[in-house]
Chain A
Amino acid sequence: MILSQDLLICRTKDIGLTDFFQACQLQKKFVQEVIDGGTDILLLTEHAPVLTLGSMATESNILLSGEMVKARGIGIARVDRGGEVTFHGPGQLVVYPILNLNKFGRDLKSYLSKLEQVAIDLLRYFGIVANSVEGKRGVFVGPKKIASIGIGVRKWVSYHGMAINVNTDLRYFSTIKPCGLEVEMTSMERILGKSLSMDAVKGQAINCFCDVFNLKITKA
């Protein structure tokens, strides 16, 4: 049993609908805070439509030309995270845990697996059976992918994180080869046949995050 005094403290901050670049700037600020000894923080957001490419991502995994992407009102950003291209947009819950991984074993694989477990637990709460797949990152419902992962780490402090399709307009994913894979994306809305309250999903995501990482939450 874990006693409450053994739990680490983590702040949470719901920053609502954000521009991807603004959210990156905010992450940088908090990463520096945590490097300097500040309390860990979990940011929750949804982004305006944007395609993001990891540091080593292949641009050919964007299936449309740059002009066509822009014409659809979608931004493009290259970011300092692992992983290939992905899409972020309204209706998708994005969580950015900015954690001092020195407190969590300095083990990137274990950290990534824990993030996946947060999504699996969250989905189970809403009645969806999801799982991770050996050799692939992210979370799947059957053959379809519902959550994507890509992180950055500076001085053992994590940033970027995980995107879970809640009520995402899945048509956007037709513009890319998600994560460089031939995979179909799905969402909680698609599986359950109804749109969900983002606030309810965010609240439960925080609960699942605390359970998996043994954290006690304070509001930032």
Chain B
Amino acid sequence: MTVSVKMPDLGEGISKATVASWLVKVGDRVNEGDDLVELVTDKASFNVPAAVTGIVRQILVQEGEEITIGGDLAVIE
């Protein structure tokens, strides 16, 4: 089963963020709750954790690129 890692809702008025750095790479095994990626927006840096345990199969947004709320960041299998 594959699960998409989505950009979380960071509250009212924030529609997008920039990927500052990936803390994992494709092929890495991650546990539920492990930090996957650091996003930055409006003076805040925010780490997105893995919602499930599994292997990172795809990274869909590169460092420096923007992502909108609900957008797919990665795929974990």
Contacts and interface: CB of A to CB of B under 8 A. Distances in A.
Nearest to A149: B43
B47 interface: yes
Contacts, number: 70
A77 interface: no
A109 B21 contact: no
Interface in B10-63: 10-14, 18, 20-21, 33, 35, 38, 40-47, 49
A151 B47 contact: no
A151 B41 CA distance: 10
Nearest to B44: A82
A32 interface: no
A118 B50 CA distance: 33
Given A109-B11, A109-B13, A55 B41 contact: no
Interface residues of B, number: 21
Interface residues of A, number: 23
Interface in A78-114: 80-83, 105-112
Given A55-B21, A154-B35, A108 B41 contact: yes
A152 interface: yes
A150 interface: yes
B11 A107 contact: yes
A110 B42 CA distance: 11
A70 interface: no
A81 B40 CA distance: 8
A151 B11 CA distance: 15
Given A55-B38, A112-B42, A150-B43, 13 more contacts: A54-B43, A82-B40, A82-B41, A105-B11, A106-B9, A108-B10, A109-B11, A109-B12, A109-B14, A150-B44, A151-B45, A152-B46, A154-B47
30 contacts: A54-B40, A54-B43, A54-B45, A55-B45, A56-B18, A56-B40, A80-B38, A80-B45, A82-B42, A82-B43, A82-B44, A83-B43, A106-B9, A107-B10, A107-B11, A109-B10, A109-B11, A109-B13, A109-B42, A110-B12, A112-B42, A150-B43, A150-B44, A151-B44, A151-B45, A152-B46, A153-B46, A153-B47, A154-B35, A155-B47
